[in-house]
Amino acid sequence: MPIVTYRDALNQALREEMQHDDRVFLMGEEVGEYNGAYKVSRGLLDQFGPMRVVDTPIAELGFAGIGVGAAMVGLRPIIEFMTWNFALLALDQVVNAAAKMLYMSNGQFPIPMVFRGPNGAALQLSAQHSQAWESWLAHIPGLKVVTPATPYDAKGLLKSAIRDENPVVFLEGEMLYNTKGEVPEGEEILIPLGKAERKRQGEHCSVIAHGKTVLIAIQVADALAKEGINLDVIDLRTIRPMDVEAIAESVKKTNRAVVVEEGWEMCGVGAQVVDYIQRECFDFLDAPVLRVHQADVPMPYAKNLERAAKPDAQKLTAAVRKVLYLE
């Protein structure tokens, strides 16, 4: 099976969906001539031309609004933000237009569109360029929120997002573009939105993760397996809708849970997961549910402080040991 990068898997998904449906087009800053800020749209301008791969000015609110209007009249736009930190300028269109149009039009205007781009921290980009946006966006009824962790999931989820009849927020890990994984060649990959996946099988503790933190969870699971501690790693893949059944099935099996996320503690995705666990699995728990997350500070620029602020394998390992009463 071919090994491809996360960015190339996304490129395959875009190319295949633009071939599949001529209503699909890509719009954003540097998506055409420059082949995308992270080279995700490499080669698409040459293949599909400037009417379907549209370079824009630095005007997120403006081109997001054009995308909403295009979706209202039957096209299927993909709006690329160079980073979700810049998308803050376009949130009026994402939250007040795209998310609400179907409801406020009494079903007259479905909004089949995708807002996509890198999310979360990279390396030393400081506080204004290192934020994880999933909890903000998942708070909004009318949006679906997707956070793929692997190349396979990135391709399959993006293809499903493009075909969905609702606005989908697609959050790509900024540090994941160069990661590699198996992606089948010549095979249609469509991963349903709202379905989690078990990345590791175990019976001692559930670890619920999404996006970049899935790789941390897998790393910790593989390391602890050598000590005879087997973790059940659940990759949420979609934050909204969230696969509550998969979470409950895992926790009822292991009786312990740790939730790891890239964002802050207050009102984070992990808080929602813990709420589900205490409602659905309270009588099965043998220890309090713990959370691993970013420190409650704007992301520092200094390398040592940035490292201290981020969730990592050491912090997750300590949390797992604590719920197992090994520390």
293 flagged as catalytic:
no
Residue in 30, 129, 203, 280 annotated catalytic: 129
> What is the phi/psi pair of residue 130, to 5°?
-135, 25
Q: How far apart are CA 300 and CA 317, in angstroms?
A: 23
- The DSSP symbol for 89 reads G
Residue pair 95/140 in contact (Cβ under 8 Å)? The answer is: yes
End-to-end CA distance of the chain: 42
Q: How far is C-alpha 100 from the geometric centre of its chain's CA atoms?
A: 21
To the query of whether residue 172 is one of the catalytic residues in this protein, the response is no
At 78 the three-state DSSP class reads strand
Cβ neighbours, 10 Å, residue 108: 9
Tokens representing 200 are 């590791």
Distances (CA, A) of 42 to 45, 158, 230, 246: 8, 16, 40, 36
d(CA 68, CA 48): 21
> Shortest CA distance to 146 belongs to which of 246, 267, 240?
240
Those residues with Cβ within 8 angstroms of residue 140's Cβ, 6 or more apart along the chain or in another chain: 94, 95, 99
Q: Are 113 and 66 in contact (CB under 8 A)?
A: no
SS3 for 143-187 is CEEECCCCHHHHHHHHHHHHHCCCCEEEEEECCCCCCEEECCCCC
* SS3 call for 201: coil
Choosing from 17, 20, 29, 60, the catalytic residue is 60
Annotated catalytic residues are 60, 129
